[in-house]
Amino acid sequence: MNATTENIPTTIIDIGKDFSRYPAGRYETDGPFNGELFRAKFLVPVLNNNKQITIELDGTAGYGSSFLEEAFGGLVRLGYSSRQIKTAITLHSEDPSLLEEIEEYILDAEQG
Amino acid sequence: MGWTQIVTWLLVIAGWLLVNHQNNIREKRKEIRSILDKIQSLLDEVEIQAVDYHTGQESSDLAFQLKRSLNQKLRYRLDILKLRNIDVKKCYSLLIKFRQAVTLENFDTSSYKAQNLNDDLIKNIWLAKDRLSQEFEKSFTNRYP
């Protein structure tokens, strides 16, 4: 995903440092560093305030798909369009499969 | 030195270059086969751990090991194959399917439910692993028919 809007400062969030090296679970009931919490703490404020963010995905011990689906696919279920998400959020990882998987969740959620 | 001697030396050098080249190809093939064997062993291990996780008692230790294998370990080995000019593009999307089969449902969740071996979730893990495993073999065969 690439940010295209100009003149908006971009914040970098390193999940491993700023959230947890051990993200896990979908909902708040699943554990302290779940996808729902990550979305609410880092992603929703960016979209609500018309900001831009770069998410550094490497640096954690690994992701379960449930975490990724809830964090990113969950944005669409909250009402944000894939276009809004792609404009505001840039993902960075050395692992192309992670980027592809997140993209898939956003598109799948949008198609219902 | 007469021209016959020059031709002889040229033939010796050409022969050496040919043998050396073929030897390098053989060594590279052996090296890649060895990496691939390690990947297949890792996939077998992940498959067993994933079925244990989903059919036994929920274990956060096992969940951690599965995430580590399905992210770091497999990606590292895929990167090595890519560096050795093996086309692994299709493997990435099948790796996603395998990761999803293991960690999208009933994983890292407070509503964990132990599955039976004939439940769809378990069958999907086996199938996703088989497809990824076969794709790795295909990548190897395409490079070294």
ipTM, two decimals = 0.89
CB contact under 8 A, A30 and B108: yes
- The structure's pTM equals 0.89
Closest residue in A to B93 (Cα) is: A97
Q: How far apart are the first and last CA of chain B?
A: 44
Q: State the smallest CA–CA distance between residue B3 and chain A in angstroms.
A: 57
Residues of A at the B interface, defined by Cβ within 8 angstroms: 22, 24-27, 29-31, 61-67, 69, 94-98, 100-101, 104
CB of B103 closer than 8 Å to CB of A65: yes
Rounded to the nearest 5°, which phi and psi values hold at A76?
-65, -40
Q: How far is B112 from chain A (nearest CA, A)?
A: 10
For range B22-42, the mean pLDDT: 94
Provide the mean pLDDT of chain B: 95
- What average pLDDT does chain A have? 92
Residues of chain A with pLDDT under 70: 1-9
With bands split at pLDDT 50, 70 and 90, how would you rate the model's confidence at B145?
Answer: confident
Domain boundaries, chain A: 10-110
What six digits make up the tokens of A41? 């703490």
Q: Name the minimum distance, in Å, from the CA of A10 to any CA of chain B.
A: 27
Q: For A82-99, what is each residue's pLDDT tens digit?
A: 999 999 999 999 999 999
| Chain B residues near residue A93 by CB distance under 8 angstroms | none
Distance CA B76, CA A11 (A): 28
Residue of A nearest to B76 (CA): A95
Instruction: Please name every residue paired with A14 in a beta bridge, in sequence order, or none if there are none.
Output: A56
pLDDT for B1 beyond 80: no
Report pLDDT for A67.
98
